[in-house]
Structure 1
Amino acid sequence: MSTTPQPHTQLTTAIQTDRAIIVGDPARVDRAAPLLTNAQRVADNREYRSVIGEYRGQRVLVMSTGIGAPSAGIGVEELKNVGIKKIIRVGSAGAMQAGIGLGQLIIAEGVVRDDGLTKQYVPAMYPAVPSFELMALAHKYAPQAEYGIVRSHDGFYMDNNAETEAYWSSYGIIGADMESGALLTIGRLRGLATLSILNNVVLYEGDLAAGVNRLVDGEALMAKGEEDSLRLALAILSDESLRA
């Protein structure tokens, strides 16, 4: 563990907690802060903005990682270096099945590692799976969420996106994002407990740009889904069973 600032996140062991929430958008850190007691800004460097505070008496860090697996992977590695042992991603996703509504929570039971970064760590056959303990708590607090396999990928604008999404949808994949695979894979390799909670912002076969724009604009369903996902992550990380 490091008492000197990490090169990208600028965090040190002075955070004095072993649990964190990671989000993509730095603005989401600002929206998470009011949910915490005594929230204080810790660092703000590149895409990595962080605040720390308390929730139900438990000290929790919230940090952004920007877009994609590489920056998320750096964030996970540096969190581990400063003593973090439990990480929950709170992010956004596009639905890969009909019937998953806007703002619905999607929780990854496993991830298809369709990114480039994690294959630099381990072969593609290595599974990306969450912590059983954190997953059990997700079921406790959010039994109504959509649970299943998510696909993590590296981009939005490839010419064959529609065909690729139809292919994975046919195998029962329920959602797509860009960071969950990195979190679950690197977390497992580094001995961390991890979980990914995603807020659906695009209906299956819906307009990606319109969905993302609605999230930025704070449309009611997506805004509620974002708050629900943050509150769920905080409830899990502050559960009494994790305090032993």
Structure 2
Amino acid sequence: MKQPHILCQKEEIAPNILLPGDPARVIRVAGFLDEYREISWNREFRTITGTYKGMPVTVTSTGIGGASAAIAVEELIQCGGKNFIRIGSAGAVQKNIALGDLIIAEGALREDGASRMYVDEGYPAVADPALTLALSHLCKIKEYPFHQGIVRSHDSFYIDEEDAIMEKWHRKGILGSDMETAALLTVAKLRGVRGASILNNVVLYQGDLRQGIAEYVDEEKVTAEGEKREIEVALEAFCRI
């Protein structure tokens, strides 16, 4: 039976799943695969399944925000998904994180609404240690600039107090902000599957949000290289586990 939102069924989904936000990034991931076929594309959820070095892999886009990410993860679990890595973008919350640097989440600050619908705020959103170790080990081997620690997941770029909130979490050592990591890690832990997140920094701390996003769209910019690196590292991490 097909799932109602991602429109996939069990025999179409691999145990190892990459989760970009942008549907266009699904096809960019496809360029790293041995072969692939498109399974479905409904709303923000675009899914392909193929192989990487002979290993079955599914890639599903989750759209923007924790609510749609949680829907995708829940339905992918119903289809047999076991290991999930978010390959997304983030805005830096520390000055030493350059554009195109990778951020590996050990856990996430849960400022999103989706994860709070599942469980009280005191429940930690933590990444699977085996997947996280594989991601960091591969970054070291490949000598890709990366940072590892806690990220912040939130629901809007444009709230009035955003600058003050960012300054607060800068002082507490939060590495970067995204919108989906907390939901993924919370749902994965509650459902007994593995979840991890590696993020490509596309906005400098105290930089201009709109300019950063515009630079990310331009594939000639340095952030495009960060995207390629996070895809490569995530696929290799699946091979390691």
TM-score (norm 2): 0.96
Q: Say if 1:57 and 1:238, in contact at 8 Å, map to a contact too.
A: no
Q: Which residue of 1 aligns with 2:128?
A: 131
Q: CA deviation at 1:87?
A: 0.2
Q: Which residue of 2 aligns with 1:64?
A: 61
Q: Which residue of 1 aligns with 2:189?
A: 188
Q: Which residue of 1 aligns with 2:212?
A: 211
Q: After superposition, give the CA deviation of every residue in 1:104-148 in whole Å (9 maximum; x if it has no partner).
A: 000101100001111111100000001111011112201342001
Q: Which residue of 2 aligns with 1:221?
A: 222
- Aligned equivalents of 2:30, 2:139: Cα separation in 1: 22
Pair 1:34-2:19 in alignment = no
- Evaluate the alpha carbon distance shift between residue 22 and residue 160 of structure 1 in structure 2; reply closer, same or farther with a 3 A threshold: same
Pair 1:116-2:87 in alignment = no
1:135 counterpart SS class: helix
2:63 counterpart SS class: coil
Q: Which residue of 2 aligns with 1:21?
A: 18
Q: Which residue of 2 aligns with 1:104?
A: 101
Q: CA deviation at 1:220?
A: 2.5
Aligned residues: 237
For structure 2, the residue ranges without an aligned partner over 5 or more in a row are none
Pair 1:234-2:235 in alignment = yes
| Matched AA of 1:181 | A
Q: CA deviation at 1:17?
A: 1.9
- Aligned equivalents of 2:187, 2:85: Cα separation in 1: 13
1:238 counterpart SS class: helix
Q: Which residue of 1 aligns with 2:146?
A: 145
- Aligned equivalents of 2:119, 2:103: Cα separation in 1: 26
Q: CA deviation at 1:16?
A: 4.8
Q: CA deviation at 1:219?
A: 3.5
Q: CA deviation at 1:217?
A: 1.8
Query: Which shows bigger deviation, 133-142 or 41-50?
Result: 133-142
Q: Say if 2:14 and 2:49, in contact at 8 Å, map to a contact too.
A: no
1:100 counterpart SS class: coil
Query: Which shows bigger deviation, 35-44 or 172-181?
Result: 35-44
Q: Which residue of 2 aligns with 1:202?
A: 203
Q: Say if 1:65 and 1:75, in contact at 8 Å, map to a contact too.
A: yes
Q: Say if 2:13 and 2:49, in contact at 8 Å, map to a contact too.
A: no
2:81 counterpart SS class: coil
Q: 1:11 aligns with which of 2, 8, 11?
A: 8
TM-score (norm 1): 0.95
1:142 counterpart SS class: helix
Q: Say if 1:201 and 1:222, in contact at 8 Å, map to a contact too.
A: yes
Q: Say if 1:102 and 1:203, in contact at 8 Å, map to a contact too.
A: yes
Q: CA deviation at 1:11?
A: 1.0
Q: 1:51 aligns with which of 48, 51, 58?
A: 48
Q: After superposition, give the CA deviation of every residue in 1:11-62 in whole Å (9 maximum; x if it has no partner).
A: 1111252110001000000111111011111110000001111111101001
| Matched AA of 1:207 | D
2:125 counterpart SS class: coil
2:127 counterpart SS class: coil
| Matched AA of 2:41 | D
- Evaluate the alpha carbon distance shift between residue 214 and residue 158 of structure 1 in structure 2; reply closer, same or farther with a 3 A threshold: same
CA RMSD in angstroms comes to 0.9
Q: Say if 2:18 and 2:85, in contact at 8 Å, map to a contact too.
A: yes
| Matched AA of 2:179 | M
